[in-house]
Chain A
Amino acid sequence: MAVSRRDFLKSTAAATAAASIGVNLLPGMSNQVFADSMQWHKSVCRYCGVGCGVMIGEKNGNIVSVKGDSENTINKGHLCVKAFYLHKAVHAQTRLHHAMIKKDGEFKKVSVEEALEFTAKKFNEIRKKHGGNALAFYGSGQAETEETYMANKLFKGCIGTNNVEGNPRLCMASAVGGYLTSLGADEPAGTYEDIEQTEMFLLIGSNTAEAHPIIFERIMSHKNKNPNVKIVIIDPRKTPTDQVADLHLFPKPGFDLPIFNAIAHVLIKEGYADKDFVEKHAFIKDNKGNAVTFEDYKTFLEDYTPDKAAKISGTPANDIIKAARMFGKSKTAMSMWTMGLNQRQRGVWANNLVTNLHLLTGKIGVPGSDSFSLTGQPNACGGVREGGGLCHLLPGHHLVAKEPHRKLAAKIWDVPYENIQPKPGKHTVAMFSALNEGQIKGIYIMCTNPAQSLPNASKYWKGLNDQFVVVAESFFPTMTTKYADVVLPAAFWTEKEGVYGCTERRSQYMPKVKDAQGDAQWDAYLLRDLGKKMGFEKEFTKYETAQDMWDEYRLFTKGTDMDLTGATYDRLKNLRGLTWPIPDENHPGTYKRYTKNDPVFDNLPAEKRAGRRMYFYGPAASEGKASIWMRPHEEPAEPTDAEFSYAMTTGRILEHWHTLTMTGTSPELVRAAPKPYAEINPADARKLGVANRDMVELESRRGKMTFEARVIDRPAPGTVFVPWHWEEKPINVLCNDAFDPGSKEPEYKVAAIKVRKA
């Protein structure tokens, strides 16, 4: 019987979907299903930080199909709806095909060679006249590790400035600070494997259903099979994640710290604390870091009764008690959070307080229990946190402030030790302020769109306008390219190889599947060649392939808590990634850190492990102990008041991602969620006299904008939610750029606003 192409594709689609849940839908047809002329390539999704495995179907140099990688342990063959648009981004009309230099206010097409020559000349002039610290690099959690690695070497190792930052400063820095101060080392102790083993999920400031759909699927699937599994949400906004929640606490934005202390209060009062675990595995510290006793901690928490927390946060005391009891009664618990916790003036404290609950009850270091930060970008962990793409870091969790680390970097990079400055450079907000003030006179921006994404964004347009700006991008135009003096065309996903490291410490290899479009080049090569043209020929000649860069990078990690020695390209090309530490080429990767079967833990002297099930060996820990912190309540930088009486918070929606440079390239997606809008609670809408789809004006102390009102029972009364994706209404202009003094992460999630009918 003849089978049409359409029938064939339909059978393939059905059989692949069925196979992803372990069902053989069409017995006897498996050969036909996979006997297509397409070439399939194992890769990783370009969008969020979950790290889903994607099989890319290529035919005649085009990406014509994608499917979930059924062998990938993260997504097990499933994708989210953004998969419908992966090909659209690759083949988008807005792809940038050539380099440009701005002359007399107009972009002129030039060769990449000419653009790099021009950039090198300008950068060298600035460096000669004003010193290396007059230059800066601003990168991305979407860049590959190899790309960030090249930038780090060029700026920190050769130019001699630590003004190297990346957009993960804006989304994950508080999680980094939280892990370092609580557990002594960055990144989670566990992995996604804990999801199917836990009895309780505590989801905080995370719209998991829309922002991390595959994680949500795993959570739902686990609960479907185990109805006794509890899900508690702490978030000022109701989201699709609520479909499966047992309890939802709605704090006023920025007022949740007392809730965590009150939960700890109840846990201790009702006997759920594991004092033996605490005694052996944790210091208890006051807010200044001084060691105190368990009794001191109890006394501190006595002030945080559920009633008091209820009064501050606006969440009923009974709900706080219920959440605490669920946490206490569950044998295992997994906390997950994203920007709702991190993008805060006290984001590090908030992270500490969540991890406190795990340390206090011993719900860490065992299957099903972890304090687990979810990531927003695909390589924020791998490239920027691990790769050292922030102003105080060197690759492999090393610090510029430590002399042995600088010596190691100088040796590996083969640069003079004196080149690497001991003082951290400028963090993101300080970097763009320095552009405004003229202290930084030249910046190279790679794979990110700060003109739209910075908080209080319009404040920083001056510096971008005044100084020499180079933007390396795959898409044109963006809000940031408008300010560029030079635009470099960057190869996009599928057009380059490299490694992404996702939320769960997993490094995964992505192949080059097709040639880059037009003159576009791989970002790592653009940086390498810029380095050569700036006079660092010797330092950059040796990098001929992506593997050259990765192999050198792995040297930084040898013997560290994030050892990638065993993660060779050969292994990564064949495996579905490896979770570090991976100390040798036979090591299978590590599920749980700080405990048995973690190679670092297993190699500790016996006396250190004696009588303990965990040993926190990270660089910021002492005596192998974690830290429980006594963090007090502190209001957000801009609480509501009589004049600015609504709290505005921002976030993602399912159909879009970040500033639309990728999803905005699809006319279909833009039509699907076409207009910027603001969600307003029906009770507030009644008070304001606003009906659904009326226009409303939102005004913060930094500006005002009008949006279409979506009157919906999602944000709690008093809270307005605005998705942050659209260039024509860049809501970040209204956001506050106050930042956490520890992590330097801005408080995007809380701004006081006025709301009126427009």
Chain B
Amino acid sequence: MPISGVVIMTQPEKTENVLALLNQKDDVTTYGVHKDYHIIAVLEADSSRRLEEMTKEIQQEMPGVLGIFPAYVNFENEVNET
């Protein structure tokens, strides 16, 4: 199961709202708002495709998300399954 640690950049006035919406999503764990309105989150999915879909959903469904930037991606199970 791929897992990714991401930095979510938000518009300052919408950061808290984005955080609340993220906390409602399955397979997303947030680790708070940090400097410059960045939210740290971990996305878990059953495939790389689902990871990508999740980022798309977050960007499209949550006003105030300026960008999602993976800092760490682990897909060892997926590679082992290939």
What is A's interface to B at a CB cutoff of 8 Å?
6, 9-10, 12-23, 25, 57, 59, 62-68, 70, 77-81, 83-85, 87-88, 91, 209, 213-214, 216-217, 220-221, 224-225, 243-244, 655, 666-669, 671-672
Contact = CB atoms under 8 A, between A and B. Distances in A.
Interface residues of B, number: 45
Contact of B69 (A12, A18, A57, A213): A213
A17 B79 contact: no
Given A12-B74, A25-B31, A78-B70, A668 B5 contact: no
B67 A9 contact: no
A26 to B, nearest CB: 9
B71 A78 contact: yes
B71 A16 contact: yes
Nearest to A67: B72
A313 B71 CA distance: 41
Contact of A17 (B5, B37, B48): B5
A12 B70 CA distance: 13
Contact of A62 (B34, B40, B50, B79): B79
A13 B34 contact: no
B40 A17 contact: yes
Contact of A10 (B36, B42, B55): B42
Contact of A78 (B7, B53, B55): B7
Contacts of B53: 672
Contacts of B71: 13, 16-17, 19-20, 67-68, 70, 77-79
B4 A213 contact: no
Contacts of A83: 70, 73
Given A14-B31, A217-B67, A668-B52, A21 B38 contact: yes
Contacts of A225: 36
B9 to A, nearest CB: 6
B70 A15 contact: no
> Would you list the 3 A-B pairs with minimal beta carbon distance, nearest first?
A668-B49, A13-B5, A17-B5
Nearest to B59: A240
Contact of B68 (A10, A77, A81, A672): A81
A90 B68 CA distance: 23
11 contacts: A6-B3, A20-B71, A22-B35, A62-B79, A78-B69, A91-B79, A91-B82, A213-B67, A224-B9, A671-B49, A672-B53
A667 B49 contact: yes
Contacts of A224: 9, 11-12, 36-37, 66
Nearest to A243: B66
Nearest to A85: B48
Contacts of A243: 11, 66
Interface in B15-34: 29, 31, 34
Contacts of A17: 5-7, 31, 40-42, 70-72
Given A16-B5, A68-B71, A217-B69, A63 B34 contact: no
Nearest to A63: B79
A81 B55 contact: yes
Contact of A80 (B37, B69, B74, B78): B69
B67 A64 contact: no
Contact of B35 (A21, A25, A65, A81): A21
A671 B47 CA distance: 12
Contacts, number: 157
A51 to B, nearest CB: 16
Contacts of B3: 6, 9-10, 13
Interface string B54-71: 011000000000111111
A672 B31 CA distance: 27
A14 B40 contact: yes
B19 to A, nearest CB: 15
Contacts of B80: 62, 64
Contacts of A85: 48, 52
Nearest to B12: A224
Given A18-B34, A80-B69, A84-B4, 17 more contacts: A10-B3, A12-B72, A14-B42, A17-B42, A18-B31, A19-B71, A62-B79, A64-B74, A64-B76, A79-B70, A83-B70, A84-B48, A84-B51, A84-B52, A213-B69, A244-B66, A668-B48
A669 B76 contact: no
B37 to A, nearest CB: 6
A667 B82 CA distance: 13
B72 to A, nearest CB: 4
A655 B56 CA distance: 10
Nearest to A38: B76
Contact of B34 (A23, A79, A672): A23
B66 to A, nearest CB: 5
Nearest to A36: B74
B38 to A, nearest CB: 5
A59 B78 CA distance: 13
Given A10-B44, A87-B79, A672 B49 contact: yes
Contacts of B47: 668
A669 B52 contact: yes
Nearest to B35: A21
Given A12-B5, A84-B52, A67 B73 contact: yes
Nearest to B34: A23
Contacts of B29: 10, 14
Nearest to B68: A81
B74 A57 contact: yes
A215 to B, nearest CB: 11
Contacts of A244: 66
Contacts of B69: 20, 68, 78-80, 213-214, 217
A217 B2 CA distance: 24
B75 to A, nearest CB: 5
A225 B35 CA distance: 10
B64 to A, nearest CB: 9
Contacts of A669: 49, 52
Contact of A221 (B2, B36, B49, B51): B36
Among B5, B31, B41, max chain A CB count under 10 A is at B5
Nearest to A70: B71
Contacts of A668: 47-50, 52
Contacts of B9: 217, 220-221, 224
A221 B74 CA distance: 26
Given A18-B31, A668-B48, A84 B76 contact: no
